[in-house]
């Protein structure tokens, strides 16, 4: 059996530990080495996975024979790593979002296309059975034409929920993250809106530091996406008290509504014609588990490499270039206080 020899670049995104566990569960993967400038994180990853460690990823690329790379650096460093890895023919999976700004995202796509490497942006929402079921239902026309989609991502704040200082220190840095809660969490809503509805024609965004006043970046944000016949709403908050009752996405169609609940179940309401009467029937669906190869990001990434299949929305690089374009337009809208048309001129 051919094994994918995996290197890790960056350990400062706390999602890395869960992703490494998922990679280590795959018999087709051999985790070879990790690179990060923080010695305590290198010590931790070395103890957990018995691998070689480096303080510089270029050195790791030179000394180790790799097939693919997991990138969990600050958002602003993704483009540098992808360019270096792609030059060596290495496939790349990075944790969302794609980059800190649109210019960096374009560099990522350019490097991937130039060197014919697979570049994946891992959005954890993609591997939700409820979200996958909702997507199939919408494409099947179960609620008619969708005219509204909403997704709210919220918690009480990176520091408040116990993220490591290595993680929240760069989330709170505008240059490294791209913004604050807006980039960290509105990206989910944009990724989903584009997957369900495609590219909007304009956006309006507002954000501010409403509750966590020790921050120099936003802790709450709202991004509105305008389509020809639909609205999309992406909300972000780092000041949510308690669990939000409806996580989403919430999809409203001409003939019904689909809500992916916090527990992963899908609430489905639809209009039923009964003689001269129109009734609304509602049910709660427990979505089926996803098949092998689609249960999480590492599984999908490895399968696409081994089978030489192209990555697909909503995690491929080209798709996420559009996501970054919408986010960039949102940043401009919030800064200038006006609606921004797409595509960006």
Per-residue pLDDT of the chain (345 residues; tens, 9 = 90+): 689 999 999 999 999 999 999 999 999 999 999 999 999 999 999 999 999 999 999 999 999 999 999 999 999 999 999 999 999 999 999 999 999 999 999 999 999 999 999 999 999 999 999 999 999 999 999 999 999 999 999 999 999 999 999 999 999 999 999 999 999 999 999 999 999 999 999 999 999 999 999 999 999 999 999 999 999 999 999 999 987 766 789 999 999 999 999 889 999 999 887 666 678 899 999 999 999 999 999 999 999 999 999 999 999 999 999 999 999 999 999 999 999 999 997
pLDDT score, position 245: 62
pLDDT score, position 246: 66
**pLDDT tens digits, residue range 193-229?**
999 999 999 999 999 999 999 999 999 999 999 999 9
Signed CA dihedral, 16, 20, 21, 26: sign only: positive
Q: Which superfamily does CATH assign the domain made up of 4-122+293-315 to?
A: NAD(P)-binding Rossmann-like Domain (3.40.50.720)
Distances (CA, A) of 304 to 103, 117, 125, 300, 311: 27, 11, 19, 6, 7
Q: Within a 13 Å sphere around the CA of 314, how many CA atoms are in the beta-carbon half?
A: 27
Domain chopping of the chain, boundaries = 4-122+293-315, 126-290
pLDDT score, position 272: 80
Q: At 193, list the tokens.
A: 């809106």
80 SS3 class:
helix
The CATH code of the domain at 126-290 is 3.30.360.10
Alpha-carbon distance of 126 to 97, in angstroms, equals 13
**pLDDT tens digits, residue range 157-190?**
999 999 999 999 999 999 999 999 999 999 999 9
pLDDT score, position 249: 97
Q: What is the pTM of this model?
A: 0.96
Residue 24: other Cβ atoms inside 10 A: 15
Residue 340: other Cβ atoms inside 10 A: 20
Answer whether 4-122+293-315 and 126-290 agree in fold: no
pLDDT score, position 345: 73
pLDDT score, position 278: 72
């Amino acid at each position: 059996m051919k094994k994918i020899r995996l290197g890790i670049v960056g350990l400062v995104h706390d999602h890395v530990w869960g992703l490494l566990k998922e990679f280590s569960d795959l018999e087709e993967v051999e985790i070879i080495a990790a690179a990060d400038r923080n010695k305590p994180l290198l010590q931790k990853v070395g103890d957990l996975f018995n691998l070689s460690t480096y303080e510089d990823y270029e050195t790791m690329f030179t000394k180790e024979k790799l097939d693919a790379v997991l990138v969990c650096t600050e958002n602003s460093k993704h483009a540098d790593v992808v360019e270096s890895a792609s030059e060596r023919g290495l496939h790349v999976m990075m944790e969302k979002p794609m980059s800190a700004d649109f210019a960096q995202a374009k560099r990522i796509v350019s490097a991937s296309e130039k060197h014919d490497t697979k570049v994946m942006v891992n959005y954890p929402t993609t591997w939700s059975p409820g979200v996958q079921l909702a997507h199939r239902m919408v494409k099947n026309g179960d609620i008619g034409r969708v005219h509204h989609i909403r997704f709210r991502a919220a918690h009480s704040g990176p520091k408040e929920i116990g993220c490591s200082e290595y993680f929240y220190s760069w989330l709170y840095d505008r240059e490294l993250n791209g913004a604050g809660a807006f980039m960290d969490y509105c990206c989910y809503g944009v990724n989903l809106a584009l997957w369900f509805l495609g590219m909007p024609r304009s956006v309006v965004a507002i954000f501010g530091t409403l509750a966590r006043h020790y921050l120099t970046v936003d802790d709450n944000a709202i991004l509105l996406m305008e389509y020809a016949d639909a609205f999309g709403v992406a909300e972000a908050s780092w000041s949510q008290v308690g669990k939000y009752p409806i996580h989403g996405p919430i999809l409203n169609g001409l003939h019904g509504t689909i809500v992916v609940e916090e527990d992963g179940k899908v609430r489905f309401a639809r209009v039923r014609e009964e003689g001269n009467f129109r009734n609304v029937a509602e049910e709660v669906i427990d979505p089926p588990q996803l098949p092998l190869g689609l249960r999480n990001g590492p599984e999908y990434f490895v399968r696409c490499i081994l089978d030489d299949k192209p990555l697909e929305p909503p995690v491929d690089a080209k798709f996420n270039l559009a996501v970054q374009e919408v986010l960039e337009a949102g940043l401009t809208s919030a800064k200038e206080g006006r609606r921004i048309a797409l595509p960006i001129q």
